[in-house]
Amino acid sequence: MNILFLTIGRFESIEAHSIYADLLRCFRNHGNEIYAISPYEKRTGKKTELVNENGAHILHIETGDVTGASNLIKKGLAQMSLETTYIKAIKQYFSNVKFDLVMYSTPPITFSKAVEFVKNRDGAKSYLLLKDIFPQNAVDLGMMTKSGVKGFIYKYFRAKEKKLYALSDYIGCMSEANVKYVLDHNPEVAPKKVEVCPNSVEVIDQSVDDETRFKIREKYDIPQDKTVFIYGGNLGKPQGIPFLIECLRKSAEIKDAFFLIVGSGSEYEKLKSYVDHEKPENMKLLSYMPKEDYDSMVGACDVGLIFLDHRFTIPNFPSRLLAYMQAKLPVLAVTDPNTDIGKVIVEGGFGWWCESNDSAIFRDAIREIMNTNVASMKEAEFRYLNENYTTEIAYKTIMSHY
C-alpha cells in the first residue's frame, strides 16, 4: 500500500523515536511505502525539500508558524492556510503516486480539504489519529468563547472539526473516554467508525542501572539521596502551570523529595520567575533538551509526573506517559476528572491519581508515594506498555479495516 501521512509535528526522520515515526516505521516494516508531509515553519528559515530515506519519502514544506507561536491569531491564520499549501505540495511532488490510505493527526483540524482531495483523486481510505479535541480545549482554557466576537472563530473551527470527522472513514481515539466524548458531542458520527487507537511506541527498555543512574544525577546536579519526581514536556496552558507552582510550594516542606521540571512552552517564564524569586531548595528547572538526553535523564529519576489543567472538559491523554513507562517510572497523574489517564494508571497498577485542584492533596500523595515500595509497580508498568501501547497493536487496529 501507498500511505500518505499528514502532520504539523516535527518529523525529521523515519528512524527517529517518536509516536509518529515509530508508527510509520511499523507500516514500512510490513511492506508499505510511506509518504509524509510535515512543515518547515517560517521561524526555522528552512526551505521546502523532499527527503527519501529507507523506504520513506518525507516532504518538508515551507509554512507559517503553525505551532508554538505566542500570537494566537497569527498561529490560527497559519493553520488555516495549511490545506491549500498541502494540496499544492501533493500535486507538485506526489502527482504520480496513487495513495491507498491517508492518515492524519490532530492538531490541527484544518486538513479536511487536503484529505478530501486525496480521497477524490485516488479513492483512498482515510484514518484520523485524534490526539487533540479542538476547539473545545481552547474554550475550556478561556482562549476562545462560544459567543461574542470570539464565538465566530469558535464556530468556524467547530465546522472544520465536524467536516474532518465526516471525511474520516475511521477515527482512532487515545482512550475509551475519548471515544465516548466524540460520540456524545457529535451524534452525527457513526459509532462503528470510532475506536481506541492509542498513542503507541516501538518499545525500548529505557530503565538504567545504579551506576548509570548515579552518573546521570551527578552530571545534572540532581541529589543522589532523594526521591526524584520528574515532569517533562510542554509547559503551556494545558498543563496548568500556576497550579503546578502551588504544588511545588506546598511540597517544599518534604525534604526528601526533589522535583525536576524539564521543558519549554508559553508558561515556562512563570516557572522561571518562581524559581528565581523564591529559590526553592528541592527543585530544579531545566529548559528543553535533546530527546536522547531527556530520555536518559528520565531513567535516572524515580516517579513521573503528569499535570493537566482542572478546567478541561475534554479527556486529554498526554503522550509523555509512554516515556515514563519505557523508563519503568511509576506515574502520578494530577488532572481534571474528565480524562481517564488516571484510571488507566491506577487500574494498571503502576501509579497514582489526584485532581488538579488541591495542592494539599498533591502533597499528601507525594508523602504516600515516598512510603511505597514501587518494585512490583515497575514490572506491571512495563508489562502494561507491551500489552497496550505498542506500534504493532496500533498498526493492526488500523489495518484491520483495509
Confidence of residue 73 (pLDDT cuts 50, 70, 90): low
- Give pLDDT tens digits for 358-377: 999 999 999 999 999 888 89
pLDDT tier, 103 (very low <50, low <70, confident <90, very high otherwise): very high
Check pLDDT > 80 for residue 60: yes
| Cell numbers that stand for 116 in this block | 478530501
Confidence of residue 65 (pLDDT cuts 50, 70, 90): low
Confidence of residue 107 (pLDDT cuts 50, 70, 90): confident
Parallel, antiparallel, or unpaired for β 56-63 and 49-53?
Answer: antiparallel
Band of residue 116 on the pLDDT scale cut at 50, 70, 90: very high
Q: What is the pLDDT of residue 202?
A: 96
User: Which cell numbers hold the place of 5?
Assistant: 501521512
**Over pLDDT 70: what percentage of the chain?**
95
Q: What are phi and psi of 33, to 5 degrees?
A: -95, 125
Confidence of residue 75 (pLDDT cuts 50, 70, 90): low
Contact 334, 218 (CB under 8 A): no
> Is it the case that residue 327 has pLDDT exceeding 70?
yes
Dig out the grid coordinates for 159 from the structure.
465546522
Say what the pLDDT of residue 6 is.
94
Query: In this model, does residue 71 exceed pLDDT 60?
Result: no
Mean pLDDT of 234-253: 93
Q: Tell me the one-letter amino acid at 399.
A: M
Cα–Cα distance, 292 to 283 (Å, whole number): 22
Q: How many CB atoms lie within 10 A of CB 287?
A: 11
Taking only the tens place, the pLDDT of each residue in 283-305 is 999 987 878 888 889 999 999 99
Q: What is the pLDDT of residue 11?
A: 80
pTM tops 0.75, yes or no: yes
What average pLDDT does the chain have?
91
CATH 3.40.50.2000 residue ranges of the chain are: 2-197, 210-387
Nearest Cα residue to 56 out of 34, 74, 40, 38: 34
pLDDT per position as a tens digit, 161-183: 999 999 999 999 999 999 999 99
| 72 pLDDT higher than 90 | no
Residue 349: predicted pLDDT: 95
Which three three-digit cell numbers place residue 201? Answer: 511506541
**What average pLDDT does this structure show over 138-144?**
90
Helix (H, G, I), strand (E, B) or coil at 203: coil
Flag whether pLDDT at 76 surpasses 80.
no
Per-residue confidence band for 66, with pLDDT thresholds at 50, 70 and 90? low
pLDDT band at 233 (very low <50, low <70, confident <90, very high): confident
The model's confidence at residue 187, banded by pLDDT at 50, 70 and 90, is very high
Mean pLDDT of 110-123: 93
Q: Partners of 57 in the beta sheet?
A: 35, 52
Output the 3-class SS for 285-313. Answer: EECCCCHHHHHHHHHCCCEEEEECCCCCC
pLDDT higher than threshold 70 for residue 78: no
pLDDT tens-digit profile of 334-353? 999 999 999 999 999 999 99
Higher pLDDT, 84 or 381: 381
The CATH code of the domain at 210-387 is 3.40.50.2000
**What is the side-by-side strand order in the sheet with 331-335?**
283-286, 257-264, 227-234, 303-307, 331-335, 351-355
pLDDT at 296 (0 to 100): 87
- For the domain spanning 2-197, the CATH number is 3.40.50.2000
